[in-house]
Amino acid sequence: MRLLFRVQDSLLNLLAVVGALAIVALMLHVAADVVLRNALNSPIPATYEIVTHYYMIALAFIPLAWVEKGGGMVQVEVFETFLGPRGLVWSDRLVALLSSVIYAALAWFTLQTALRNFDTGVFVLAQNTRVPTWPAYFLLPLGFALAALTTAIRMVFPARGAAV
């Protein structure tokens, strides 16, 4: 069990590093584009496309598992006042089960889309520059799969200190 939590924590720390790198890369890329456009009248080609197809996707979907670990996504509080400590644990487990199933389904379907886009080599044209966008499609199933894994672990091993 400890090994499972260590692996989960390691993956989530890796996601935090990837998210931090994406934020820094986004800021540097956009700042360089603004400076080059205004100072030299030579913007970086396809900045908008790279920001929207890579950075924003990474920032939106990669941290899902990290947010789930902290319990910040799905909370059911309607009946919490009527449930005792044991009922709260089972309610949390039910929510974690439903979340795991939904995340796993989203991971599966977005993986199918990513594989189709990989096969066809999806790209966008920006100022006569081909910007391949198919790699970004793999970020979604990665984020959803890790969120499914995180909620599944939370379902099996409820919060420490909770009454079971």
Domain-located, residue 161 = no
pLDDT for 112 beyond 50 = yes
Which of 74, 93, 97, 73 has its CA nearest to residue 83? 93
Please give the residue that has the higher pLDDT: either 67 or 111: 111
Please give the residue that has the higher pLDDT: either 62 or 33: 33
Check: CB of residue 66 under 8 Å from CB of residue 12. Answer: yes
User: What's the whole-number mean pLDDT along residues 5-12?
Assistant: 83
User: What's the whole-number mean pLDDT along residues 102-108?
Assistant: 97
Domain-located, residue 162 = no
User: What's the whole-number mean pLDDT along residues 133-138?
Assistant: 92
pLDDT tens profile 43-101: 988 899 999 989 998 888 888 887 887 766 666 677 777 778 788 888 888 888 999 99
- Indicate the SS3 state at residue 75: coil
As a whole number, the mean pLDDT across the chain is: 86
Angle, CA of 131, 111 and 22, to the nearest 5°: 50
Domain-located, residue 12 = yes
User: What's the whole-number mean pLDDT along residues 120-128?
Assistant: 89
Domain-located, residue 68 = yes
Query: What is the count of structural domains for the chain?
Result: 1
pLDDT for 163 beyond 70 = no
| pLDDT at residue 161 in the model | 39
Q: What are phi and psi of 26, to 5 degrees?
A: -60, -50
Domain-located, residue 150 = yes
E strand or H helix at 103: helix 85-120
Domain-located, residue 73 = yes
User: What gap in Å lies between CA 152 and CA 93, rounded to an integer?
Assistant: 9
| pLDDT at residue 102 in the model | 95
Beta partners for residue 125, in sequence order: 130
Domain-located, residue 164 = no
User: What's the whole-number mean pLDDT along residues 112-126?
Assistant: 94
Residue span of the structural domain in which 59 resides: 2-156
Domain-located, residue 163 = no
What's the pLDDT band for 164 if we cut at 50, 70, 90? very low
Q: pTM of the entire structure? A: 0.83
Structure tokens at 11: 């993956």
